[in-house]
Structure 1
Amino acid sequence: MDESWGLNNADLMQQIGTLMWAVNDDKAPKMVENMAAMRVGYEVYQRLSGQRDVDALRNQTIMAIAKYVKDHPKASKEELLKEISKQIALFVKKLEEI
C-alpha cells in the first residue's frame, strides 16, 4: 500500500476514535467504519511487523547496488556479482538486527 496510509500517533488515535464512533452509532455510514478499520488495521500491522523498516532496508540495498553499477560502468560480471553479494549480505545482517 501507499505510504500515505501510514499514521502518526495522533492520527492513529483519531482513527480509533472514528472507528469507535462508527461502530457504536447506528446512523454512522458503514463506509466510515470500514475505512477507519482498514486504516487502524494497516497501521497496527506496520508497527508490529516492522514491515516499514524492511521496506526501507530493501530500498537502501537496491540504491547501493544501483550506485555501484552507475559508478563502475565497466565492471566485470565477477565484480558486479561480488558487489551484489556484499550488499545482500549486508541486507541480511541488518535484517537480522531488526
Structure 2
Amino acid sequence: VKLASLSDLALLGWLKTDSVQCKQLLTAVTGMQVARELLDRLSGQSQIDAYRRECIQSIADYVKKNPRASQRELNAEAEKNVLLFASRVQGLDSGH
C-alpha cells in the first residue's frame, strides 16, 4: 500500500477547502518537488544511483553464479565492477 505523499495531502486539502493556505502549501510543495527534480537531473544523481545499483547487482550475480569462487576471484570481480562504476560516473562529469 502506497502512502499519500505530502503533495497528495496538500492537493486534497486545497480541493476540499479551497483555502488560500492550502493553495499556498500545495504551491510550496510542488515547487520543492520541481526544484528537487531539476537538481537531480542537473547533478546526474539519478543516473549515479542507477550505476550504483547495477554495480552492486553485478557483484551479487557473480557471487550467486560462482559460489566456490576464491577470495581473490571475488575481489577481482568486485574491483572490476567498482572501476566500471567509477568510469561511468566520471563520464557523467565530463559530459556536463
Instruction: Specify every segment of 5 or more residues in structure 1 that has no aligned partner in the other structure, as ranges.
Output: 6-25
1:58 aligns with 2:52: yes
> Is 2:87 aligned against 1:80?
no
Distance 1:33 1:94 in 2: 36
Q: 1:89 aligns with which of 79, 83, 92?
A: 83
Give the letter for the 1:47 counterpart: R
C-alpha offsets along residues 35-72 of structure 1, whole Å, 9 cap, x if unaligned? 11211111111111100110000001011000000000
Tell me how many residue pairs correspond in the alignment: 74
Within 2, Cα distance between the matches of 1:27 and 1:35? Answer: 14
CA RMSD of aligned residues (A): 1.8
| Deviation readout 1:11-32 (Å, 9 max, x if unpaired) | xxxxxxxxxxxxxxx9352311
- State, as a whole percentage, how many aligned pairs show the same letter: 35
Runs (4+) off by over 3 Å: none
Query: 1:32 & 1:74 partners in 2: Cα distance?
Result: 55
The TM-score normalised by the length of structure 2 is 0.70
Of structures 1 and 2, the one scoring higher in RCO (CA 8 A, sep 6+) is 1
Matched letter for residue 59 of structure 2? I
Inter-partner Cα distance in structure 2 for 1:64 and 1:96 = 19
CA–CA distance in structure 2, aligned partners of residues 50 and 94 of structure 1: 11
